[in-house]
């Protein structure tokens, strides 16, 4: 017998929908795990992964989030609550929502609404951060530049500039503890430049960073079946 395998195509129909709920398992970071190998008709065996924690991602309409954010992101599709608070020294981010826009042509990150030092603040990317262009096939590549500028009254000016380079660099079979899946693999290299100018300090603090996202996408799965983020400090997160 002979078996023939063919690559899948990802479309907007494979992305989340409003009211979609997805169970996300986070594994303990492993420095021995190498996510880089890839190719055509490739098999990624991550069957040894174990879950360290679990949470639900619930995609809600932008009309269901605080009105300040609903107005700022009215043209977007849905939002997901962010689990972690972020501390950038003088600035703390809490009660955050990540906001996305889905269309038949692309899937984009619109930005974030969060309490910055207890002040509700929309951070609207203009243009949006391009995550995928549809239909998504092996060998596709694109890039985008995005960012925002905001002022937190009496505290600081905060700006982010981002360049994202996407490449569909593999297709094949992903093996997880939950089973085997036909997938496309998307590698994204993200160059961020955060700038914080405190009102009381005459010069801004600029923090550049580079992150590589590896995402394995399956048909009708909504969120990636597996995502591994590796930043410049060699910290790896597995979802």
144 within 8 A of 129, measured Cβ to Cβ: yes
Residue among 118, 119, 166, 127 at smallest CA distance from 145:
127
Residue 159 has pLDDT above 90, yes or no: yes
- H or E element at residue 230: strand 226-231
Residues 64 and 36 sit within 8 Å (Cβ to Cβ): no
Residue pair 181/188 in contact (Cβ under 8 Å)? The answer is no
Residue 4: pLDDT above 60? no
Question: Within 10 Å of residue 92's Cβ, how many Cβ atoms?
Answer: 14
Q: In the prediction, which pLDDT does 3 show?
A: 47
- For the chain, give the mean pLDDT: 92
Q: CA distances (Å), 144 to each of 47, 105, 106, 175, 208, in order?
A: 33, 15, 12, 31, 17
**Is residue 55 predicted with pLDDT exceeding 50?**
yes
Give the list of residues 6+ apart from residue 28 with CB closer than 8 angstroms, or none: 50, 52, 238
Cα separation values, 176 from 111, 216, 236, Å: 31, 11, 17
Q: What is the model's pTM?
A: 0.92
Average pLDDT over residues 17-41: 89
**Residues 4-8, mean pLDDT to the nearest whole number:** 75
Q: In whole angstroms, what is the distance from residue 101 CA to residue 72 CA? A: 13
Lowest mean pLDDT among 3-7, 103-107, 158-162: 3-7
Q: What is the structure's pLDDT at 2?
A: 40
Backbone φ and ψ of 71, nearest 5°: -70, -45
Q: What is the pLDDT of residue 138?
A: 98
Decide which of 202 and 126 is more confident: 126
**Mean per-residue pLDDT, 13-18:** 97
SS3 content of the chain, % helix, strand, coil (to 5): 5, 60, 35
Nearest to 88 by CA among 109, 116, 126, 111: 116
List pLDDT tens digits, range 69-90: 999 999 999 999 998 888 877 8
% residues pLDDT > 70 (the chain): 95
CA distance 214 to 187: 5
Residues in the chain: 239
């Amino acid at each position: 017998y002979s078996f023939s395998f063919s690559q899948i195509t990802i479309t907007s129909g494979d992305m989340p929908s409003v009211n979609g709920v997805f169970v996300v398992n986070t594994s303990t970071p492993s420095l021995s795990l190498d996510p880089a190998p890839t190719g055509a008709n490739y098999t990624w065996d991550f069957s040894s992964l174990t879950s360290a924690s679990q949470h639900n991602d619930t995609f809600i309409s932008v009309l269901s989030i605080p009105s300040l954010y609903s107005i700022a992101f009215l043209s977007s599709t849905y939002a997901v609550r962010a689990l972690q608070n972020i501390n950038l020294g003088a600035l703390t981010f809490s009660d955050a929502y990540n906001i996305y826009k889905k269309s038949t042509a692309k899937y984009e990150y619109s930005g974030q609404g969060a309490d910055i030092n207890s002040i509700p603040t929309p951070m609207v990317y203009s243009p949006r951060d391009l995550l995928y262009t549809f239909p998504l096939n092996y060998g596709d590549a694109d890039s985008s530049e995005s960012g925002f500028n905001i002022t937190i009254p009496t505290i600081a000016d905060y700006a982010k500039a981002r360049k994202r380079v996407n490449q569909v660099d593999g297709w094949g079979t992903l093996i997880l503890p939950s089973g085997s899946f036909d997938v496309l693999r998307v590698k994204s290299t993200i160059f961020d430049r955060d700038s914080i100018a405190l009102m009381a300090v005459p010069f801004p603090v600029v923090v550049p960073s580079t992150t590589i996202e590896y995402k394995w996408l399956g048909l009708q799965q909504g969120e990636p079946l597996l995502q591994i983020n590796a930043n410049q400090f060699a910290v790896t997160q597995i979802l």
